[in-house]
Amino acid sequence: MTTMANRPSAGTAHASTAAVEPELRGVQTITFAKALTLAMSDAMASDATVLVFGEDVGTLGGVFRVTDGLTRRFGEERCFDTPLAESGIVGMATGMAMNGMKPVVEMQFDAFAYPAFEQITSHVAKMGNRTRGQVRLPLVIRIPYAGGIGGVEHHCDSSEAYYVHTPGLTVLTPSTVSDAYIMLRDAIASPDPVVFMEPKKLYFSKATVDLDALRARYDGDSVLPSSIGKAAVAREGTDATLIAYGPSVAAALAAAETAAEEGRSLQVIDVRSLVPFDDETVSAAVRSTGRAIVIAEAPGFASMAAEIVARIQERCFHSLAAPVLRVSGFDIPYPAPRLEKYYLPGVDRILDAVDQLQWEQS
C-alpha cells in the first residue's frame, strides 16, 4: 500500500471541508444513485478488500455522483481516481482481484467502456475457466448505460449484448431503487466478475425504502439468497406478459397501466439478471398468459431481446397463442438528442404490439 499512500493528493483539500456524511438509517426516500452509493459504502464498511476506482470517482464523486462521499469516508486508498484509461482500469482491477481485493470499478459511460473490451472479454470473462476454477475474479464493472437523457453521441449506448454474449460474465441491470442496492451488494459479494449496468435515466428517480431491512439481508446469519439469476414480477396480469429490463421496465409498466384502463390485464416481468437468465420465472409467466412481448432499448438485431424471444419459443411453444414479439430500438446508432424520441420504445409501440397478439383467436 505504500505506493498508494504516496499518491499526490492534489484537489482533495476543498472536498474535505465537507463533513463526513452521517449514515442514513431506517425508512428513507432516496435516489437510485444514492442506493448504489449506499450499497458500495456498506460493502466497503463490512469488507476492507472492497475498493472503488475509476475516472472522476474520488473528489468529484463520479459524473453521476454515484461514488459521492466514498473517498471522504474511506480515504484515498479505498476510493480513488485512476489515470484516464479504461483498459488500464479493468486490467489493473483484474490483477487486484487476483491478489485478494474486490474492486468495484466505474466506466464513465457505456461507450467509454469499449477501450476495456479486450480486458473484459479476453481476461475477466475467461480467468475462472482457464484456471479450472482456481482463480475467480470477484470484481464488479459498473457501466451507466442506455438513453432517454438527451445525451450526445457515445453517451447513450445500450451495450449489454456485447457482455451477455461473452461466456463467463454475470450481467445485471436493476430498475428499482431497492434493487439498485440489493443487486449491487449481491454483485460485490459474487465470486464471479459482474458487469453491472445502470440505466442512466433512473439515477435520479426516487423511492422510499427501509434501509435497515435492506441491510439486514446481508447481516451475519440472516443472509438472503442472492438476486443473481432471479427475475422479478413487476406487475401481475393475466392476458399477456411484457418482459423488460433496466430502462424499459418503466415503459412496460406504463403500457400495462394504459392497457388496464382499456380492460386488458398485462403482466410485467423485470428480467434484472440478464446472465444468468431466469428461464423458470420467465417461462412460467409466459405459460400463464400465453402471449409475450419483449421490450428493450438496444437495437433488436442479435440482441438480448432476441435471446429472450428464442428461449420463450423453445420452452413455451405449446402454450403460446401468438408469436412472441419484440419492441426494441431500431438497428441504427443511437440517435442525436433531438431524434431520440423516435427511437425509444414507448407505450404506443408496446400497445401496438399487444394489439397484434392474435386476440381474435382466443
Partner 1 sequence: MTNHPEIVDHGGYAGHGEDYLLPSDAPVQLIAPEGAPMTAGDYKEPYALPDDATLLDGYERLVIGRRVNEQAGALVRQGRMAVYPSSYGQEACQVASDMCLRSSDWLFPTYRDTVAILGRGVTPMEAFESLRGDWHSGFDPHQYNTGLPTTPLATQLLHAVGVAHAAKLRGEDTVALALCGDGATSEGDFHEALNFAAVFHVPVVFLIQNNQYAISVPLIHQSVAPSLAHKAVGYGMPGERVDGNDLAALLAVLGHALERARDGGGPSLVEAHTYRMEAHTNADDATRYRSAEEVAQWVPKDPLLRLQKYLSDAGLLGAADTERFAAAAEVVAKTIRDGLNTETSPDPADLFAYVYSEPTPQLREQAFMLAEELSAGQPLEGAQS
91 binds ligand TPP (CB under 6 A): no
259-288 residues near partner 1, rule: CB under 8 A = none
333 makes contact, choosing from ligand TPP, partner 1, none, with CB < 5 to 8 Å by partner type, with partner 1
236 makes contact, choosing from partner 1, ligand TPP, none, with CB < 5 to 8 Å by partner type, with none
118 binds ligand TPP (CB under 6 A): no
Contact by Cβ (8 Å): 143, 195 = yes
102-121 residues near partner 1, rule: CB under 8 A = 111-112, 114-115
Annotated active-site residue 154? The verdict is no
40-69 residues near ligand TPP, rule: CB under 6 A = 55
**HEC secondary structure over the chain:** CHHHHCCCCCCHHHHCCCCCCCCCCCEEEEEHHHHHHHHHHHHHHHCCCEEEEECCCCCCCCCCCCCCCHHHHHCCCCEEECCCCHHHHHHHHHHHHHCCCEEEEECCCHHHHHHHHHHHHHHHCCHHHHCCCCCCCCCEEEEEECCCCCCCCCCCCCCHHHHHCCCCCEEECCCCHHHHHHHHHHHHHCCCCEEEEEEHHHCCCEEEEEHHHHHHCCCHHHCCCCCCCCCEEEECCCCEEEEECHHHHHHHHHHHHHHHHCCCCEEEEECCEEECCCHHHHHHHHHHHCCEEEEEEEECCCCHHHHHHHHHHHHHHHHCCCCCEEEEECCCCCCCHHHHHHHCCCHHHHHHHHHCCCHHHC
117 binds ligand TPP (CB under 6 A): no
Could you tell me the smallest distance in angstroms from the CB atom of residue 56 to partner 1? 5
189-218 residues near partner 1, rule: CB under 8 A = none
Nearer to partner 1, 27 or 85 (CB): 85
Residue 52, judged by CB atoms within 10 A of its CB (0-12, 13-18, 19+), counts as buried
Which residue of 91, 115, 128, 335 would you call a contact of ligand TPP, by CB under 6 A? 115
92 binds partner 1 (CB under 8 A): no
Q: What is the C-alpha radius of gyration for the chain, rounded to an integer number of angstroms?
A: 21
Which residue of 31, 82, 108, 178 would you call a contact of ligand TPP, by CB under 6 A? 108
Nearer to partner 1, 81 or 186 (CB): 81
162 binds ligand TPP (CB under 6 A): no
Mark the segment that binds ligand TPP (CB under 6 A) among 107-115, 169-177, 184-192, 238-246.
107-115
Mark the segment that binds partner 1 (CB under 8 A) among 163-171, 218-226, 276-284, 340-348.
340-348
Nearer to partner 1, 25 or 341 (CB): 341
Give the cell for residue 344: 425509444
Which residue of 342, 355, 356, 362 would you call a contact of partner 1, by CB under 8 A? 342
307 binds partner 1 (CB under 8 A): no
Catalytic residue, chosen from 14, 155, 165, 318, is 155
Please report how many Cα atoms fall inside a 13 Å half-sphere around the Cα of residue 108, on the Cβ side.
20
Nearer to partner 1, 151 or 290 (CB): 151
Rule CB under 6 A: which residues touch ligand TPP?
A: 55, 84, 86, 108, 112, 115
| Residues assigned a catalytic role | 155
Rule CB under 8 A: which residues touch partner 1?
A: 7-8, 10-11, 13-15, 55-56, 58-61, 63, 81-88, 111-112, 114-115, 147-148, 150-154, 251, 254, 301, 330-333, 335-349
